[in-house]
Chains A and B, each alone.
Chain A
Amino acid sequence: MTRFWTRLIVVLTVIFGVNYVAWRWFASLNWDAWWIAVPLVIAETYSLIDVMLFGLTVWNLKIRKPPPAAPDDATVDVFITTYNEPLDLVLTTALAAKKIRWPHSTWILDDGNRPEMRELAESHGIGYVTRSSDWTPDMPRHAKAGNLNNALMLTSGEYLLILDADQIPEPDILDKTLGYFNDDKVALVQTPQYFINVPADDPLGSQAPLFYGPIQQGKDGWNAAFFCGSNAILRREALMQLGLVGYVKATEQSVRRALAASRSAIKKARHSAEAENPLVGKMLDEVEAATKEAQQELESGASLSEITYRVRRNVDDAVRTLVAADFSALQADLEEIAAMELAHVGESGVTTVAGDAVDRMSGREWSPLGALESVHAVLEAISVERTGEAQPIMPLATISVTEDMATAMRLHSLGWRSVYHHEILANGLAPEDLKTMLTQRLRWAQGTMQVLLRENPLVQRGLSWGQRLMYFSTMWSYLSGFAAVVYFAAPIIYLTLGILPVSSLSFEFFVRFIPFMVVNQALFLVAGHGIPTWRGQQYSLALFPTWIKSCTTAARNVWFGRPLGFAVTPKARQSGGPSWSLIRPQIVVAVLLAVAMVAGMARLLAGLSEPLGTLVNVAWVAFDLVVLSVLVKAVLYKGFVPEGSAAPETPGSPEGPQERNADAV
């Protein structure tokens, strides 16, 4: 029955929304003030698309029944990821994980590589994992994705329960979720993230009842429930398959690129000073012949290991022959060799060459080819070892700082299924100060935008259109910062300058706008079953500087390779007094809004503007100020104090967990 009402309201929202926005585009733009009229109508169109995507999400809302029992022999590794969280916090989670009833192994994945952590884990009989020796300092570490990828190579459970260091699992978390994997195509079961250190009024908007509720349930209906990084169970086979497919793709790409680059590298090398040495010239001929042969083999479908092996062997053989033949030329280098202990000083004092000198001088690093950096680099890249990564198989996606979303999307495009299990089975800790909260939101937003820019879901093969739109919907919601700026600017401009972006505020306007607004709010009411969504609505507007920053930094990162300025979210409360400087842009906007309100009144009294326009815009400004007022509360928030003496909020309330995005509010 609820489904019927939800769908009815979705249909009405689309009808009234399109009716309003189409009228705005075609019949109401004040072209004299195009510089605000056009941005405003674009912002309104943005919001319409946003609410339509939300409507699509809840259209297929899926309420699941408990799964069947899992086979008794299913093996599970429980991973607790940590970097710098306090030891006792990690241990508390690990001990709770140990008490999970289903047979399993518990592992602390300590990316901080802390000896005290290892000792603590070992003394409690908990597994301890840090990066293996493959992760040399020159390799990209990939943060949490790297941590998990490393652990995947060192463990062997069929399923993996992933927990953040502060997410304390219930003992029955696996009993209630493993059964979903009886369906061979299920790769992921996500449960809610819920926080126990959040007061009822949730000043930092930590709980995300809309996301871990109708939004995830709706995505689940489209087989697009997201992986959210913690409190989720994954199938190892699916992740490893993802790693293999990614490995093959990356290897083929890098071999193709290297072969394509070899021609110009060789040409360049021929013009360099080193090429005047006839030995080098001959070597370049050999390299050219080897890469040409490899190109032909690649086109004829030979395997990459064969091709790369042959290139390496041909080049090495050629180099060796030439070096041996021209060995006298190397005598001149003996002094340098001596410094590197390749040569022995004989008893007579005469320098002699070590027996294996030819071998070593023909080695990749030492051969005269090594001096020709571009050629050397090309040859290094013609390999199947994925030399740019610590391990060839990287199951969790490393294209984004939010590895979870990118990984889930790739799993879906390989045909795997996901499940959202709507029951709180782990209790976590949310940030307790504004600064930490802002860092966390920025990271989520940046990660999401990285995925959009690197692997746009709308063009991913293997995804259904429903899945594409579910991923796109979350990404779209992070563009709200730009719309927010326009929504703040438009009433300020009217109240201070008297410029209206709409051609007139007539009956025509209200008859279209009001029905749209009403069904829009009704949609949230019905789809959310009365879940409190106001806090989320406030933050999706009030954090506009964060959302904008996430877009610009992610774009710079993806397009120009600039760093994101990434920071791990601190778990402990940051010390110091109220930090108003964190919300400077919002304070400026609030002051402008207040000034505009006064100016608008003054203009009305002076007869410079009409009453209706002023009334509408003053109401609009008042709404904006109420939205922004949440930040005052946030700045003044002094951290969580359990109500009464000690009793923390009991988990299991219908209110869901952490909002991971500004989704559709």
Chain B
Amino acid sequence: MQFSYEVKDSYAEVKGVGRLNMVAAPKLREVVAEVVAGGSSRVVVNLAETDFMDSSGLGALIGCLKAARQAGGDLRISGVQPQVKMVLELTNMDRVLTAYPSAEAAFGND
């Protein structure tokens, strides 16, 4: 899995391409920690090109959410694919995370 990020005006966008599984999970945590440490605590993880996620991947997202919140910001997800949507529902994680249609929309109203 490849991660890249881009700091925009009011948020930073982290993109993940491939499978966000137990192997990629620690990498995601590192990337987001780097982004937050760089001063962008408003983070969107764009999952438009993430075609598979397991529970470890979701666990990493929660870890990143905590890191962003503790830095006074927030972490949001966008572009959720069908398999990822299913995993979110299976674990009830859709009660916690809202899936936004696009990275721009994630922080659209604040």
Contacts and interface: CB of A to CB of B under 8 A. Distances in A.
28 contacts: A153-B59, A156-B22, A156-B56, A157-B22, A236-B22, A240-B54, A240-B56, A240-B58, A241-B91, A243-B55, A244-B91, A244-B92, A244-B93, A245-B91, A245-B92, A248-B92, A249-B92, A251-B96, A303-B94, A303-B97, A304-B96, A305-B96, A306-B98, A313-B110, A383-B69, A384-B69, A391-B63, A393-B63
Contact of A305 (B25, B90, B98): B98
A193 B90 CA distance: 34
A392 interface: yes
Interface in A154-179: 154, 156-158
B106 to A, nearest CB: 11
B70 interface: yes
A309 interface: yes
A309 B59 contact: no
A237 B97 contact: no
The 8 tightest CB contacts between A and B, nearest first, are A240-B55, A244-B91, A303-B98, A248-B92, A241-B55, A393-B59, A385-B66, A156-B22
A180 interface: no
Given A241-B91, A305-B75, 10 more contacts: A237-B54, A241-B55, A248-B92, A251-B96, A303-B94, A305-B65, A309-B69, A384-B96, A385-B69, A392-B66
Interface in B15-49: 22-23, 25-26
Interface in B68-110: 69-70, 74-76, 90-98, 110
Q: How large is the interface on A (under 10, 10 to 19, 20 to 34, 35 or more residues)?
A: 20 to 34
Interface of A: 153-154, 156-158, 236-237, 240-241, 243-245, 247-249, 251-252, 302-306, 309, 313, 383-386, 391-393
B62 A247 contact: yes
A384 B93 CA distance: 11
Contacts, number: 83
Interface of B: 22-23, 25-26, 54-56, 58-59, 62-63, 65-66, 69-70, 74-76, 90-98, 110
Nearest to B98: A303
Contacts of B63: 153, 391-393
B31 to A, nearest CB: 15
Nearest to B90: A241
Contacts of B70: 385
B102 to A, nearest CB: 17
A236 B69 contact: no
Contacts of B23: 156
Nearest to A248: B92
A393 B62 contact: yes
B92 A305 contact: no
B80 to A, nearest CB: 13
B96 A248 contact: yes
A78 to B, nearest CB: 16
Contact of A244 (B59, B66, B76): B59
Nearest to B73: A309
B21 to A, nearest CB: 8
